[in-house]
Structures are given as C-alpha cells and as structure tokens.
Amino acid sequence: MKTRAPDLSELLRTLDPHAPLAERHLWLMGMLDWVRGKRADPEAAAARVRELLDAAEADPQWLVLWREWWTEFLTEVDATSLLADLGFAPRNAFLAELADRLRRKLILPTPETTDLRELFPLLFPYEFDARWLRALDAPTLQRLRRVLLGPETPDSAHNYALRTLLNALAHALSQISAAGQSAEVRTRMAPQVQRERPFASLPISFEALRQAVLTHGRTSAPALVALGTLREQLDACRAAASTVYEHLKEHGISVHIEFQLRQLRQRIIRVKALLLCLETDSPAQATAQLLSHLVRVNRDSSSVGELVRDSTQLLAAKVTERNAETGEHYITHDKGEYLHMMGAAAGGGAVMALTTLSKLVIVGLGLSAFWGGVAAGLNYAVSFVVIMLLHWTVATKQPAMTAPSMAAKLKDLKSPQAYEDFVTEVVHLLRSQFVAIVGNVVMVLVVAYALSAGIQALGWGALVDDAHAQHILDEHHMLGRTIPYAIVTGALLFASSLIAGWVENWFVLHRLDSVIAYHPRITRRLGAERARRWGRYWGENISSWTANVSLGLLLGLVPPIVGFFGIPVEVRHVTLVSGQIAVAAQHLGPGVWQQPALWWAAGGIVITGFLDVAVSFYLAFRLALTAQNVTGVDRRRLYAAMGRRALHQPLSFILPINAPADASPAPPIPETRESG
C-alpha cells in the first residue's frame, strides 16, 4: 500500500532539533522529497523552495527551531569528505575503486551517519536534483541564504562554511600533491617538469592562501593574489600530469597509472570549483552550482561500466594502435602481394589440414571434456605457431588486426577524394581476405582428403567410422547450429587479438626486452650477444606468439569450460570445418556426392567463413572507432562511394584489379554528418 506524501505544513510541524540523528536526517530527506514533487519540472521545484521560504518567514518561532536544528546538523556532520572526496577512490587505485563501487551497489547507505559524503546520496539521489538546483535564480538563493542561515556572526553557519571549505581545499590539495609526487607518476613526467616539481609547491601556495583569508578576509587583496598564485600552480600541475601520457603511449599503458591521472585531473577541477565558492561575490549561486555538480558526480561515481570504460580507454587505444600496425601487413595492394597472400594462405591451409587430422585423433582417444579441450587447444596453438614461423597465414586471424587499421584511416576523411581512397583500401582489404580464405579452404580440402585417402590406402585404418562421418556432415548443416557457433568463434578470434595487445603492452611497460638483454643473471646464462638477440626478438614478436597461442587455447578450452555450465558451445573455425568435411566425404566414398547433406555442409563452410571474419572484424572495428575517438564520418558519402565502386568494378573486390588512375572523385553530397 502506497503511503501519502506529507504536505508542507505537516513537514514544518514535525521539525524537531532534539530528535535522534537518523530521524533528523529522515526529516531533511522528506523535505527535499517534497521540493522535488513529481520530478517533472525543475521550475516547479524552485517554486516550492520559494513557497517554503514564504512559510518560514511567516512563522518566526519555526525559524528559531530551524536554526537550532541547523546548528545541530553543522555540529555533528562533517562536510569535508563530501567536498573533497565525493567521486574519488579512497586509495587512488583502480581495483580498490572497482570494489568500492560494487560494495555501494550491494550495501545501501544509512541516514544514521555523521559523514555528509555518505548522507549525500540519500539527500540527492536523482539526476533531477542537479536540474532543480540549477533552476534556482539569484534572488531565491540570496533569500534562502538570508532566511535559513540567518545573519553572519563569528559562530554563524557562514563562518562554518568557510572553515569547512578551507579544510576541504587542504585535503584535496594534499591528495593532488601526493599523487603528483608518487614514484609511478613522477618518473614518467617530462625531465623538465621533474626538475620544476610543481606538485611539491602546492601545499605552500595553499597555506599562503589560508593565512590571507583568515587574516584579511576571503575577498581581500592579499587573498585574491594568493588565490591567483594557487590557480597558476594548479595549471602547472595539470600540464605536468599531461606529459605522463606521452611516456605511456611510447612505453606501455598501465590501467592503474591511467586511473591515477584521471583522478588527479578531476581533483584539480574540483579544487577550482571550491576556489570559485571562496572568491565569488555570490556564494549562494556558487554553492548551488557546486551542489548540482556533486549530484552529477555522485551519479557518475556509482557506475561500474563508466569506471572500466574511462580507465581502459587508453589501453584500448594502445592495443588497437598496435593491431593497426600489424594489420597493414595483411592487406594486399597489387598483383604481386595478392599472389604472395595466396601462397601464404595455401601453406597455412596445408598445416591446418594436418591440424584437423590431429583433432580427429584426439577425439578418438576418448579423453574427458576438459583434458580433451587442453589437447585440442595445444594442437591448435602449435599449428598456429608453426604457420607464423613459416610466414604463412590463417585468414580468420586477419580481421581483428586489419579492422583497427581501417578505423585509423577514417580519421583522415577530409575531402571527397579521401572517401574514394578509403573505399580503395576497403577493396584491397576484402580481396585480400577473399584470397586468404580461398587459399586456406581449398588447400585444407585437398590435403585433408588426400591424407585421409592415403592413410586408408596404407592400411592404417580410418580416421572416422561411418556414423562419425555422417554426424560430421549433419552437424555442419548451414542452417543448423553452424551460425551461433561461428559467431562465438568470431568472438574468440577477436578476444585473442585483445589478449595479444594486452600482453605486448605489459611486456613493454615492464621493459622485459631490456631485462632479457641486460640482466646479469640472464646474460651469464645466455651470453651477452645471445641475450640481446633474444631481447630484441621477443620485443618484436611477443604479440604474434601470444595471439597464436591464446587463440589455440581459447578454441580448445572455451567449449568444455562453458559446457560445464550446461551451455553447449563448439568451435566453428572455417579451416577445421573444411578439413573435417573433407575427411568425412572421403570416408563415405563416391556416393556421398549424391547426398544433400554434403552440399548443406559445403554451404556451412561458406557461412562459417563469412561469420568468422565478419564478427571478428566488426568487434575489432567498433573497439577501434571508440578507442581512437573516430567521429564525424559522413556515412552517406562513404556508402555512395562504395556503391559506385561495386557497380563499375565488381571484380576488383575479389581480384587484383586496381581503379583507374584518373578516377573522378565523388560528387558533392549535402552535408549530413553522423558519428561513426
């Protein structure tokens, strides 16, 4: 049963300055809830504030009770942590803040608290609160200050607010100074900034401001001079912190350091907002704006997704940047590169045919689900590494690498000709992917079929029996479970590229190439020259090794692990699918060509190849667009350019046919900008 909301007269009548702490706070929550009303119109809420002031001015006895209530509130409640710490991690660490946000989602706050930071989400829990606070006009705010706070005296609420403001500034500035002088941040600043040490001077600048305010007043000339000096010092600190990003981009990203830098920047912004309240001639308006800002900060600081997204954006940009550099090698631009890609794909297909036969042998061993997954994962990982070492290729590993490369090129679309150039690059990408898949699949089919026939001819038995062969054809029906399983496989292909980028970033961040090359223990064991070669090799190839090994293990281990929870998942990698179908067709003999199941399974190869590539590319492309902040792409112009190319040169999407050198640029299209 829904309870009736109290009216203003009832709320005024129930004010009790001597009530227990929790009840006094519940009364204030009820009053603010009355001000909000239906939370539909900020102006209506502002009108209720004026109605409250009218009622308060009409009842002097109530004002006496209110000011006694307010004195009790100020005496017992500490606002320093609200002003200085709301929205910031208590220990300036990403994992600590993540755990704290999860805790706050699971454990509700109590109104029985003397910490205004804990009480604040109960007093202002809605985004609407920020709107109605900003809707309060200057006359209403001045009247609110005069009526509810009373005249200024040495012990009045006005002086309490000043002391609280100075305490909050001292706390926030100490946090900024400590973060800026921490070893993780300081050692990554530019050398010139390290010599200037702007963060070390912050407490000195603030102490000068505090003494000027307490001695001469907050609007005095000495206070304003000290305040200007402190602002300049804050700007120097912010500029110094920004130099850390250049170091991170070159030497590897740390989510923890990125989180520290983001907290530092936001604390500087908070201090400037507090300084505005200190220096303004309209403290009521500045206070209302600060409260509105804190409401939004409180809402944002409760989001786990926002924390992860903000703290990992730089890492995502680093990962996609590395993948973009690698992806350039997978795009062919002329006939020679096209034929080279075809040969590399054929070599990769031959190895994957052997991988398929090894998988069938592993299945025949009858291992448990987990150990069968481990064996299959190692089988895939060894095959991918062999292909890498022989400089061959597996087509489905390319999209996650080429997508960031294409996303990076979207930044440069400044003219109609740039759109045509981008479409040309898309054409190069598509035909590179086409020839790689064709080379893989054709060679897998031929080699797997030939090896299966050769094994039978040598009398070594069959890799599969009749039932298993028929089961393979039925399981890979293009309209069966092939589609969802291929989508999952595409996601795993994308995941392996993320793992590779993360490991490479971690390797560079901790300078492991230098450790391998120069650490005395390693050089004694390997020799100085060999250690340097190893350090250089792993610095250049750690990403490739990680991508191949992680992909193999993901393909092998994810199905049994997910299956443990009752979710059926199988790998649908186009090369493995092709090899199994070839082995099944060979075993069933010439009559299989008359079976519809074979042709439905052949369609499954096409669907699997398309989804492996499309899903992996799409996920990597979307991540790259977000991480590299690509916006403002005119999609209409892009689609039109793509359509013209498909209409005039359809074969260029699959064969090395280049656009004519004198191709005319795209005609102008009325500006309709979309974010993409």
Residues 92 and 169 in one domain: yes
Residues 88 and 202 in one domain: yes
Looking at residue 652, the DSSP 8-state letter turns out to be G
For residue 423, the model assigns a pLDDT of: 83
Residues 457 and 333 in one domain: yes
Residue 433 domain flag: yes
Residue 337 domain flag: yes
Model pTM greater than 0.75? no
For residue 161, the model assigns a pLDDT of: 78
Residue 671 has pLDDT above 70, yes or no: no
Q: End-to-end CA distance of the chain, in Å?
A: 48
Q: Give alpha helix (H) positions in 280-415.
A: 283-300, 304-327, 335-364, 369-389, 399-409
Please state the rounded mean pLDDT for residues 291-316.
77
Tell me the helices (H) and strands (E) count for the chain, helix number first.
29, 0
Residues 382 and 443 in one domain: yes
Please state the rounded mean pLDDT for residues 428-442.
88
Please tell me the least confidently modeled range out of 200-204, 397-401, 617-621. Answer: 397-401
Which residue reads 């590993």 in tokens?
397
For residue 328, the model assigns a pLDDT of: 62
Residue 482 domain flag: yes
Please report which confidence band the pLDDT of residue 148 belongs to, taking 50, 70 and 90 as the band edges.
Answer: confident
Out of 182-196, 313-327, 375-389, the most confident range is: 375-389
Give the integer Cα–Cα distance in Å for 618 and 627.
14
Residue 348 domain flag: yes
pLDDT tens sequence across 574-599: 999 999 999 999 999 888 888 999 99
For residue 28, the model assigns a pLDDT of: 93
Residue 104 has pLDDT above 70, yes or no: yes
Q: Which two tokens stand for residue 320?
A: 């996609």
Residue 358 has pLDDT above 90, yes or no: yes
Please report which confidence band the pLDDT of residue 136 belongs to, taking 50, 70 and 90 as the band edges.
Answer: very high
Please state the rounded mean pLDDT for residues 214-221.
86
Please tell me the least confidently modeled range out of 40-49, 217-226, 417-426, 551-560. Answer: 417-426
Residues 262 and 396 in one domain: no
Give the integer Cα–Cα distance in Å for 471 and 561.
23
Share of the chain above pLDDT 70, in %: 88
Residue 144 domain flag: no
Please state the rounded mean pLDDT for residues 85-105.
75
pLDDT tens sequence across 507-520: 888 889 999 999 99
Q: Which two tokens stand for residue 610?
A: 């398309």
Residues 14 and 91 in one domain: no
φ, ψ of residue 115 to 5 degrees: the values are: -100, 110
For residue 604, the model assigns a pLDDT of: 93
Give the integer Cα–Cα distance in Å for 390 and 347.
9
Residue 458 has pLDDT above 60, yes or no: yes
For residue 628, the model assigns a pLDDT of: 66
Who has greater pLDDT, 433 or 90? 433
Residue 187 has pLDDT above 70, yes or no: yes
The vertex-105 CA angle with 100 and 109, nearest 5°, equals 90
Give the integer Cα–Cα distance in Å for 353 and 579.
6
For residue 332, the model assigns a pLDDT of: 81
Q: Nearest-CA neighbor of 115 among 88, 68, 81, 155?
A: 81
Residue 665 has pLDDT above 60, yes or no: no
For residue 313, the model assigns a pLDDT of: 66
CB 668 within 8 A of CB 629: no
pLDDT tens sequence across 61-75: 999 899 889 888 888
Q: Nearest-CA neighbor of 630 among 266, 320, 244?
A: 320
What b/e readout covers 389-419, taking b as 16+ CB neighbours within 10 angstroms? eeebbbbbbbbbbbbbbbbbbbeebeebebb
Residues 262 and 370 in one domain: no
* Other CB atoms within 10 A of residue 594 CB: 8
Q: Which two tokens stand for residue 470?
A: 């028929």
Give the integer Cα–Cα distance in Å for 469 and 474.
9
Residues 4 and 118 in one domain: no
Who has greater pLDDT, 35 or 627? 35
Alpha-carbon distances of 425 from 406, 409, 430, 616, 619, rounded to whole Å: 8, 9, 9, 19, 19
* Average pLDDT score over the chain: 85
Residues 379 and 453 in one domain: yes
Give the integer Cα–Cα distance in Å for 439 and 459.
30
614: helix, coil or strand?
A: helix
Instruction: Give residue 52's domain range.
Output: 1-76
Residue 27 has pLDDT above 90, yes or no: yes
Residue 541 domain flag: no
Q: Nearest-CA neighbor of 535 among 519, 548, 521?
A: 519
For residue 250, the model assigns a pLDDT of: 77
Residue 504 has pLDDT above 50, yes or no: yes
For residue 152, the model assigns a pLDDT of: 58
Give the integer Cα–Cα distance in Å for 77 and 420.
64
Q: At what angle do helices 116-123 and 283-300 cross, to 10 degrees?
A: 90
Share of the chain above pLDDT 90, in %: 39
pLDDT tens sequence across 29-84: 999 999 998 888 999 999 999 999 999 889 889 998 998 898 888 888 888 888 88
Q: What is the DSSP string of 448-498?
A: HHHHHHHHHHTTS--SS-HHHHHHHHHHT-TTTTHHHHHHHHHHHHHHHHH
Give the integer Cα–Cα distance in Å for 358 and 583.
12
The vertex-12 CA angle with 9 and 16, nearest 5°, equals 150
pLDDT tens sequence across 153-165: 555 555 777 888 8
For residue 351, the model assigns a pLDDT of: 95
Residue 546 domain flag: no
Q: Which two tokens stand for residue 665?
A: 């640029």
Residues 294 and 384 in one domain: no
Q: Which amino acid is residue 216, in one-letter code? A: H
Give the integer Cα–Cα distance in Å for 513 and 502.
16
pLDDT tens sequence across 237-274: 999 999 998 888 777 777 778 888 888 998 999 999 89
Out of 319-328, 460-469, 660-669, the most confident range is: 460-469
Residues 160 and 240 in one domain: yes
Alpha-carbon distances of 564 from 168, 406, 559, rounded to whole Å: 52, 38, 9
For residue 667, the model assigns a pLDDT of: 44
Residue 641 domain flag: yes
Q: What is the DSSP string of 4-24?
A: PPP-HHHHHHT--TTS-HHHH
Please tell me the least confidently modeled range out of 334-338, 443-447, 628-632. Answer: 628-632
Q: Nearest-CA neighbor of 356 among 611, 576, 48?
A: 576
Give the integer Cα–Cα distance in Å for 496 and 397.
9
CB 476 within 8 A of CB 577: yes
Give the total number of structural domains in the chain. 3
* Other CB atoms within 10 A of residue 598 CB: 18
Residues 472 and 356 in one domain: yes
76, 94, 113 - which closes a domain: 76
